[in-house]
Amino acid sequence: MTRMRTMKEFSLIINGDSVATSDHFDVINPADKSVVARCPKATVEQLNEAIVAAKAAFPAWSALTYAERRAKLMQLADALEAKSNAFMTLLTQEQGKPTKGFADLGAGFELGGTLAWIRSTASMELMPETIQDNEIAHIAIHRKALGVVGSITPWNYPLLMGIWHMIPALITGNTVIIKPSEMTPLTTLYFGKIAKDILPKGVLNVVTGAAGEIGEAMSSHKDIDKIVFTGSTPTGKAIMKSAANSLKRLTLELGGNDAGIVLADADIEAVAGKIFATAFINNGQTCAALKRLYVHESVHDQLCEALTNIAGSVKTGNGLDVDTDFGPLQNEKQLDIVKALAQDAKERGANFLCGGKVINETGYFYPITLVNNIQDGARLVDEEQFGPILPIIKFKDVEEAIASANRLAVGLGGSVWSTDIKRAQDVASRLECGTVWINNHAMVQPDAPFGGVKDSGFGVAFGEAGLKEFTSIQTMQTFKS
């Protein structure tokens, strides 16, 4: 795909049609700061057209059976899979992640997850729940689609997270308007282009715009019945305020700063690779990545050495290069955040085991960085870095580590690493987070509910619990006399 052709083929998807705009904005390749494409910039009027189309399409789409909607979504998965190479290349160009990447966790991983999530979620179904059936009455709980769902997605997993929002909404009978991040809109626009020839008109609409305007208009619009958002806590709070006037349903997966606790009996040789992979998955740009590592003093030095050895074996570079393990950060703003957190750690006397200095300025590159001799209170520990730098904090007593893990306002994920599973589970149960892993981290799957607590948001994704987020309850009571 040449750059000129790429620039010509992107358009909004409204009511099953490709819609041009009078204004555009640049999408930047973070590996070399070149322009990947000119992205259509929607007006609020075009958003309103999409909302009208989605509302008009809702009655017919929601009236279909699960089997009928499932057939369309499975067809969509097949069409996406047929374009796998194009999607992976575009994903690398706009987001930066390598095609393969460290531990096969690059663009191929995101595409594979996308296909798995479509097919798994589309296979699910919410059946009526009978709570009484006797000679007096039959009482059942039915689940009904909400209407028009607005999806606002981030830039770290643009294709996969779009699917996490769209597919449960669609299979339960809702229609969708999705606004991807202005940093990474291209794979979502390409997905919409494929979907418009498979789904009925108006069922899925893709509207792209610059930061703020379109998202704000969506969250306040009276004819959007639900917003599902993945992103920062401040933006989530702003969405709640905008949604209040229409009592809009919300699912918010917000910021995290996941803690991992490595107990004294952990098998360091066995877990070091997993800890490294789950801390630096997607170059650390993962909501539920391991971001604070608390390590018992008896195994601290051994783990630091093991992680440093792994770091020395990987390559950071352009994601289109076949031997690249980690790509750039997605944007300059995020790079600046990582650099500022590293500088604060240096000023506090932290020890940099590796990395910590930009050596490639052709793109938004930052090397894999490990930092120890650091404590709670440092910005690198207390703030979500969302990049390839991991603070390692030594502890003596597990109660100390639990208190440290729980002291922040966020609560997305957490983990405990130990050979004593029962003890690990006991510690894990005391962590204040929506998901906790034993001897792993950041691993999600389509049938296991996932969501945050505290300032990490509310509502869940995945599984039957995730489907229910896109429905309302209607209790039907039938009396027999």
> Which residues belong to the active site?
253, 287
- Separation between Cα atoms, residue 143 and residue 76, nearest integer Å: 24
Q: What share of the chain is helix, strand, coil (3-state, %, to 5)?
A: 40, 25, 35
**Other beta carbons less than 10 A from residue 469's beta carbon:** 22
Please name the residue that has the structure tokens 């700063």. Answer: 257
Q: Give all strands (DSSP E) within 168-278, no chain letters.
A: 175-179, 204-206, 226-230, 249-253, 258-262
Please name the residue that has the structure tokens 């009236």. Answer: 63
Give the pair of three-digit tokens for residue 20. 């041009």
What would the DSSP string read from start to end of 280-296? Answer: SGGGG--TTSEEEEEEE
Nearest to 372 by CA among 423, 426, 301, 427: 301
In what side-by-side order are the strands of the sheet with 471-479? 129-133, 137-145, 471-479
Phi, psi (degrees; rounded to nearest 5) at 203:
-70, -40
Question: Is residue 184 a contact partner of residue 263, using CB atoms and an 8 Å limit?
Answer: no
One-letter amino acid at 427 equals V
Question: Is residue 230 a contact partner of residue 255, using CB atoms and an 8 Å limit?
Answer: no
Q: Any idea what DSSP says for residue 323?
A: T
Q: Which residues pair with 403 in a beta bridge?
A: none
Q: Give all strands (DSSP E) within 409-470, no chain letters.
A: 410-411, 413-417, 435-438, 453-454, 457-458
Q: 69: Cβ–Cβ under 8 A, 6 or more apart, which residues?
A: 61, 122, 170, 171, 173
